[in-house]
Amino acid sequence: MREWWRRLAEAGLAHPTWPVGVGGRGLGSSRARIVTEELGRAGVVAPPTGHLAAGLAAPTILAHGTPEQIDRYVGPIARGEVAWCQLFSEPGSGSDLASVATRAVRDGDEWVVTGQKVWNSAADLSQLGMLIARTDLDAPKHRGITYLLVDMDQPGVEVRPLRQMNGQSAFCEVFLTEARVRGDAVLGEVNDGWRVAQTTLAAERGSLSGRAAPGLVQALSGPKGDLDRTVGEVIDRAGRARRSRIPAGAVPARTMFELAREHGVSGDPVTRQQLGRYYSQTRVDAWTGRRIAAARGRLTGADGSLAKLATSRICQLSRDLSFSIVGAAAMLDGGDAPLEGELHRVGLASPGNRLGGGTDEIQRNVIGERGLGLPREPSADRDVPYRELRVGTQRPDAG
């Protein structure tokens, strides 16, 4: 796998929109899609994603990194050598992300980081993390944050996977106790991390609505993934694995029709109306997604939020309609449950789509403010020094 991903990167086919020399060819998104479709047609192992590495870390580093940082971090992502996680959210800072309380203090050439992060997808499988931390207590909350690239494999970083109600464990809490970050691993300027984080968040909103190209065999980058497996092993595994019937968290319309027929409700007028609505919604969302991609994210000023909101809505519609079709069987997991239990597991996880990457309410705020030009949401603390705020759960005086 190491060799395959290295060759893809060297040919500029790993991520064709990235610059030449770090896995890309500087192509536009429509030409890049042709490359991906051709790779899919050939049925090869997909270019590496590294969990959040290619989707979030790389675009942020390409936009804000120095040439040295781009070489040091983006090349290994393109070659599938590393996986990355996002260390943004905290127990007291989710929607109000600018209130993060994790502290980073300068110590000679390094930064010393202490605090707690939570809901960090794949943190247990990642070698590096995108971290935002408070570096100036006297500045207002948006202006005292620094964006750090942290090495996860060190004594000061403890990762604890969280168990979800569907039995899976897709995200973790991460405790940082005097974790060390190199001075040259600051992305952007010190105390300007909020601006840098906006690039990550915009990339995240856009990526959450994306779907993998058909035909590509998925593999996990990094040493805890498939990097040291043979391509044959990965292809064999994909051949043995049951193909997901619910890609990207929503039952495809055709599968929904089959489900209705199997459960004897396809003649029911109310169900038919709901199926029609579901089909139309999936088609409209797909066209919206294409228009957004074609405009390279400059359609409305809030394209990522529109795409994310559409995805989260379709996931909720999918859960409600599929559960109403199969009835009480939706409570069952295991091989003889509807869609071999996948319906149950994906349905239970579906509220997460409304939260991860910014909640539906926050996306609506972004659409209102940046897309429609409505007045900003009132904020009483925008210019108050962070030290004077009563926010977060990690303050020394928090109860």
Ligand X SMILES: Cc1cc2nc3c(=O)[nH]c(=O)nc-3n(C[C@H](O)[C@H](O)[C@H](O)COP(=O)(O)OP(=O)(O)OC[C@H]3O[C@@H](n4cnc5c(N)ncnc54)[C@H](O)[C@@H]3O)c2cc1C
Task: Quote the least distance from Cβ 204 to ligand X, whole Å.
Answer: 8
Residue whose entry in the numeric block shows the structure tokens 């904020």: 379
At its nearest, how many Å lie between ligand X and the CB of residue 301? 19
- Asked if 121 is part of the footprint of ligand X (rule: CB under 6 A), the reply reads yes
Q: Which of 4, 5, 84, 88 binds ligand X (CB under 6 A)?
A: 88
Residue with tokens 């899976």: 168
249 in the Ramachandran plot: left (φ > 0), alpha (ψ -120 to 50) or beta?
Answer: left
The DSSP secondary-structure symbol of 246 reads S
Least CB distance to ligand X at residue 270 (A): 30
- Say whether 342 is catalytic: no
> Among 77, 358, 367, 392, which residue sits at the site for ligand X (rule: CB under 6 A)?
358
Residue among 109 and 377 whose Cβ is closer to ligand X: 377
Of 162, 158, 97, which Cα lies nearest the Cα of 132? 97
- Residue 166 binds ligand X, judged by CB under 6 A: no
Question: How far apart are the C-alpha atoms of 348 and 256, rounded to whole Å?
Answer: 17
> Which one among 40, 75, 94, 223 touches ligand X, defined by CB under 6 A?
94
Residue 359 interacting with ligand X (CB under 6 A): yes
Min CB(123)–ligand X separation in Å: 7
* Rounded CA Rg of the chain: 22
68, 109, 361, 397: residue in contact with ligand X (rule CB under 6 A): 361
Q: Cα–Cα distance between 57 and 129 in angstroms, integer?
A: 9
- How far is the C-alpha of 184 from the C-alpha of 157, rounded, in Å? 19
In terms of C-beta distances under 8 Å and separation of at least 24 residues, what long-range contacts does 230-234 make, across chains too? Answer: 230/1, 231/1, 231/4, 231/45, 234/1, 234/45
Q: Which of residues 366-385 bind ligand X (CB under 6 A)?
A: 377
Could you tell me which stretch among 19-27, 115-123, 250-258, 325-333 binds ligand X (CB under 6 A)? Answer: 115-123
Strands (E), the chain: 84-87, 103-107, 110-121, 128-134, 145-151, 157-161, 171-182, 186-187
| Beta partners for residue 89, in sequence order | none
Binding segment for ligand X (CB under 6 A), chosen from 88-96, 180-188, 302-310, 368-376, is 88-96
Q: Which element (helix H / strand E) includes 343?
A: helix 342-349
Q: Which among 62-70, 87-95, 186-194, 320-328 is the span making contact with ligand X, rule CB under 6 A?
A: 87-95
Which residue in 81, 90, 173, 204 is the catalytic one? Answer: 204
> In the complex, what is the shortest distance from the CB of residue 3 to ligand X, in angstroms, rounded to a whole number?
30
Residue with nearest beta carbon to ligand X: 94
Q: And the tokens for 196?
A: 């840098």
Task: Tally the C-alpha atoms within 13 A of residue 24's C-alpha that lie toward its C-beta.
Answer: 20
Is position 281 an interface residue for ligand X (rule: CB under 6 A)? no
Work out how close the CB of 85 gets to ligand X at its nearest, in angstroms, rounded to a whole number.
6
Listed residue (260, 256, 314) closest to 283, CA to CA: 314
Residues marked active site are found at 204
Q: Please report, as ranges, the residues that interact with ligand X according to CB under 6 A.
A: 85-89, 94-95, 119-121, 171, 352, 355-356, 358-359, 361-362, 365, 377
